[in-house]
């Protein structure tokens, strides 16, 4: 049975320190499927024609994980698509959790008690469920399916009951122009439900849709979030990450380290510099087929990107580990919840 001691074992914690000092890539966003059972307005993955038989098998994860770990990676953000559509999700986590802290992001409509129990035993570090509104009607409309809000509430209850001490349950909120006026209520809801909340800003990088772009002048909103974080342990987004939201809305945050400190692996094993390089961006290598040496050399040769389109948590929480001069341990652990 997995629990807190298994998840936070010393070899994993020492690995974080090693990767930090050696300036190695520390995070991978790994999509286990691009299949999805919702039609979210802020995403376009559900429009893709995907053959699940071509996606990575459990065996593929077993042979790929050691190569990724050898690169220095210590955290895996496992998402999609909808991860819980994979019946073998717990086996994928078992293969990955031997080497990494594994966090899952889900839409919350496919989580059964049986699967939650299997995922808990597999050694997952955290499961966060997407929730952008306290209003059921607004959340359902945004997700393109009636009853989604109720399913999220049910899933959060199941996860709180089935995950072990040391495994985190939380809400993942995408801050946008549509829910700025609800963020305080979302914070209070997280506290009421006794779950964590992680917040990241919307980006048009995935769909090109600028309708949800956060307007400038959100300093007041961000101060409220940080004050709530200081008084209540529900907010797990780090202060250095939150501190740059305003800059992102004005001019973008420069000097993206995609490919250097973090990169993406899609559900077919292709390595991309950024999560948004799928499906049209350049493929750098394939984690299943290519040897470690080729993958390592390819990533090391990547030029610095000039992109400022996002301040996703996979970027912001990772970059602050390497660039913030007065980082606290609690800030470093913010990467655990992506």
Q: Which two tokens stand for residue 200?
A: 């990241």
Q: Compute φ and ψ for 199, nearest 5 degrees.
A: -125, 135
Residue 326: its pLDDT value, please?
59
Residue 125 Ramachandran class (φ > 0 left, ψ -120 to 50 alpha, else beta): alpha
pLDDT band at residue 220 under the 50/70/90 scheme: very high
Instruction: Report the distance separating Cα 172 and Cα 197, nearest Å.
Output: 6
Is the Cβ–Cβ distance between 98 and 7 less than 8 Å?
Answer: no
Q: What is the pTM of this model?
A: 0.93
Task: Measure the CA–CA gap between 210 and 214, rounded to whole angstroms.
Answer: 9
* Cβ(14)–Cβ(172) below 8 Å: no
pLDDT of residue 236: 95
* pLDDT attached to residue 210: 87
Is the per-residue pLDDT at 325 higher than 50?
Answer: yes
The string of pLDDT tens digits covering residues 7-32 is 666 777 778 888 888 889 999 999 99
Q: Can you tell me whether residue 254 is helix, strand or coil?
A: coil
Confidence category of residue 5, pLDDT binned at 50, 70, 90: very low
Percent of the chain's residues with pLDDT above 70: 93
The DSSP result for 133-193, as a single string, is -SSHHHHHHHHTSTTHHHHHHHHHHHHHHHSPTT-EEEEEEEE-TTTGGGHHHHHHHHHHH
Distance between CA 92 and CA 276 in Å, rounded? Answer: 23
Give me the mean pLDDT over the 126-136 stretch.
97
Domain ranges of the chain: 4-337
Q: What is the pLDDT of residues 146-184, one digit of tens each?
A: 999 999 999 999 999 999 999 999 999 999 999 999 999
The pair of structure tokens assigned to 279 is 């499906």
Q: What is the structure's pLDDT at 6?
A: 59
User: What integer is the mean pLDDT of 183-210?
Assistant: 94
Pairing of strands 262-265, 270-272: antiparallel
pLDDT per residue over 67-87, tens digit each?
A: 999 999 999 999 999 999 999
Q: Is the pLDDT of residue 282 over 60?
A: yes
Measured over the CA atoms of residue 107, residue 36, residue 56 and residue 207, the dihedral's sign is: negative
Q: What is the torsion angle, in degrees rounded to the nearest 10, for the CA atoms of residue 165, residue 82, residue 28 and residue 56? A: 110
Q: What is the pLDDT of residue 14?
A: 79
End-to-end CA distance of the chain: 24
Question: Is 335's pLDDT higher than 80?
Answer: no
Three-state SS at 54: helix
The region of weakest confidence among 14-23, 106-115, 227-236, 293-302 is 14-23
The number of beta carbons lying within 10 Å of the beta carbon of residue 58 is 14
- The architecture that CATH gives domain 4-337 is Alpha-Beta Barrel (3.20)
pLDDT for position 94: 97
């Amino acid at each position: 049975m997995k629990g807190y001691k298994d998840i936070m074992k010393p070899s994993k914690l020492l690995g974080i320190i090693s990767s930090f000092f050696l300036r190695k890539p520390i995070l991978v966003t790994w999509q286990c499927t691009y299949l999805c059972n919702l039609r979210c307005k802020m995403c376009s993955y559900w429009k893709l024609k995907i053959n699940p038989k071509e996606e990575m098998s459990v065996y593929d994860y077993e042979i790929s994980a050691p190569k990724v770990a050898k690169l220095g990676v210590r955290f895996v953000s496992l998402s999609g698509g909808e991860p819980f559509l994979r019946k073998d999700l717990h086996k994928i986590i078992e293969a990955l959790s031997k080497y990494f802290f594994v966090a899952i992001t889900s839409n919350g409509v496919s989580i059964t008690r049986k699967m939650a129990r299997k995922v808990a035993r597999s050694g997952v570090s955290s499961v966060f469920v997407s929730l952008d509104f306290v209003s059921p009607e607004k959340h359902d409309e945004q997700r393109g399916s009636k009853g989604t809000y109720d399913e999220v509430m049910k899933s959060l209850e199941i996860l709180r009951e089935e995950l072990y001490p040391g495994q985190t349950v939380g809400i993942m909120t995408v801050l946008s122009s549509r829910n700025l006026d609800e963020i305080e209520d979302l914070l209070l809801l997280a506290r009421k439900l006794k779950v964590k909340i992680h917040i990241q800003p919307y980006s048009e990088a995935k769909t090109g849709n600028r309708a949800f772009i956060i307007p400038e002048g959100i300093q007041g909103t961000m101060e409220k979030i940080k004050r709530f974080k200081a008084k209540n342990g529900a907010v797990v987004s780090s202060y250095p990450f939150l501190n740059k939201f305003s800059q992102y809305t004005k001019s973008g945050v420069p000097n993206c380290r995609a490919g250097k400190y973090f990169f993406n692996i899609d559900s077919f094993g292709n390595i991309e510099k950024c999560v948004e390089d799928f499906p049209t961006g350049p493929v750098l290598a394939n984690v299943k087929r290519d040897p470690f040496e080729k993958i390592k050399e390819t990533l090391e040769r990547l030029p610095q990107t000039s992109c400022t389109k996002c301040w996703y948590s996979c970027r912001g929480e990772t970059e602050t580990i390497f660039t913030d001069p007065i980082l606290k341990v609690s800030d470093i652990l913010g990467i655990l919840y992506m």
